[in-house]
Structure 1
């Protein structure tokens, strides 16, 4: 892509709306061939950014979902032990000698998302999403340093695999823990904030086309106020889309307090948040807004 404006336009075609800051961050990641670390509150569209970018580039999309206890065997590569055992038994039947050099070859290598991204030889480099890296253990980050810095993976038994064309790498974090400085140094960085009301309303128009304009405006205004509360989990765009979708499914063409209360579980995800948001709704419900 030629510039940030084209990135923004191509993502718009995928119904993913970005501001100038995110458009520039994605453009630089593509132009410089650097991994991009996206941080922000849950539900602001970090994962969706990687998916939309892959669609805009018409590139394969690979995803590594991180979690506590994630290992190299699940993220980078592992050996096909069943095939190795079968090869050993066949050699015994044939009275042949078989050593490590025969067992640790590419024939027995199983690619996991990161090695698959490195070894991709398609016409367009893949987009690799390393999702919620903050959920993985500290030790797992160290496994990524070679890949993030050099677009390469070393398999001790076979050597180093380096990408002919580096994949586009997007990492996301909800900041549930601090990431190592060594990982941050290898990445470009962008913080995704909750969208401004006008952009949030436009996202809702595209995501829930059945919703009326008064309903979209009222929901956008109310969620903005709800985020100012001391909540366990402030509602993001994903939750707002669910809420407006639920209200539209009920046939609500405008803001109705009873419908809003009945569907409050789409944006309130803990008992405390449910109580706080219900109190806000009861105290000062948003009035339906008319006009453009």
Structure 2
């Protein structure tokens, strides 16, 4: 894919203008994926911003985003193409009223399996787009089956698709491909070798504060620091599902909407649903609500101390 970047620094600045705080390692991975025309495989915990990388890349490159959301049992048809059977059937019925000769039937068969009746699913839309080459996001590829993973490897290796009725369609310009995985299962080495790999971790304290303030303009520096310190301390607890950066942003938006200026136990307890999505995690954190030594109050105290040191520093 053609791109305007001369190096990772350009990528980092372009992403920052689009509201995504990327570090040097991620910016380098995006630049190399474009320069070497290789898929970029992003792995990490849910909510750390993997999907957002593809969305921002599409925005800064001014390319359409084509998203393939993977799921268990996904087959080729749902990812590649299907024929519009209802429209084909309607066309046949209309033809039966107007023509019945052999030449007409042959013409009908050719027409029925032409581009007019083809439903382009994400992979075909990326390989043979109607306009410029898109950014292809293959989201949560770890949720698909191994059979589909093997098929995906074949498509990414050649960037061409064969449709028996139409022939082979090849990409005139290879799209930028971003694959994401939450590691619900290990992917085959063959797919990983085809890609550039980047592990997207939880951000540092300073970076997460920057992200919060970038995405939630109304939040104060003190509250952003307190929110980040609490969430980062919460991730150290034995939770079933630790909150990601997406949850940090959502919580900051919620607290700002409620007019909060600081964190207190009552406000945090009322808004925990922004951070925790499982009952067991809520029970673990709340414990004995009235006790001064409850996990929630302990974490608030520890987070307050961390935020205070960071702000003072």
TM class, shorter-chain normalised? over 0.9
**Please, which of 277, 283, 286 is the counterpart of residue 298 of structure 2?**
283
2:205·2:229 contact (CA, 8 Å) conserved in 1? yes
The aligned counterpart of 2:114 is 105
The aligned counterpart of 1:247 is 255
The aligned counterpart of 2:18 is 14
Q: Which moved more, 1:151-160 or 1:230-239?
A: 151-160
Change in Cα spacing, 1:32 to 1:121, as seen in structure 2 (3 Å) is farther
Counterpart-to-counterpart distance in 2, 1:280 and 1:224:
14
2:234·2:299 contact (CA, 8 Å) conserved in 1? no
Alignment of structure 1 residues 251-270 onto 2, 5 Å: 251-270=259-278
Give the superposition deviation at 1:160.
1.4
The aligned counterpart of 1:32 is 36
The aligned counterpart of 1:163 is 171
Give the superposition deviation at 1:247.
1.3
CA-based RMSD: 1.7
Give the superposition deviation at 1:200.
0.2
* Cα deviation 1:150-170 (Å, max 9, x = unaligned): 111121222211100011111
TM-score by structure 1 length? 0.94
Counterpart-to-counterpart distance in 2, 1:133 and 1:177:
10
Counterpart-to-counterpart distance in 1, 2:112 and 2:145:
31
Q: What runs of 5+ residues in structure 2 fail to find an aligned partner?
A: 287-293
Number of corresponding residues:
291
Alignment of structure 1 residues 111-126 onto 2, 5 Å: 111-122=120-131, 124-126=132-134
Local SS of the residue matching 2:180:
strand
2:230·2:299 contact (CA, 8 Å) conserved in 1? no
Give the superposition deviation at 1:37.
1.0
Give the superposition deviation at 1:33.
1.0
Aligned: 1:49 with 2:56: no
Local SS of the residue matching 2:161:
strand
Give the superposition deviation at 1:214.
1.4
2:140·2:182 contact (CA, 8 Å) conserved in 1? yes
Counterpart-to-counterpart distance in 1, 2:245 and 2:114:
47
Give the superposition deviation at 1:210.
1.3
* Cα deviation 1:202-235 (Å, max 9, x = unaligned): 0000111111211111111111111111211111
The aligned counterpart of 1:178 is 186
Aligned: 1:194 with 2:202: yes
Aligned: 1:150 with 2:158: yes
Q: What runs of 5+ residues in structure 1 fail to find an aligned partner?
A: none
Local SS of the residue matching 1:129:
strand
Aligned: 1:23 with 2:18: no
The aligned counterpart of 2:291 is none
Counterpart-to-counterpart distance in 2, 1:75 and 1:251:
45
* Cα deviation 1:130-160 (Å, max 9, x = unaligned): 1111112222112212221111112122221
Counterpart-to-counterpart distance in 1, 2:15 and 2:192:
25
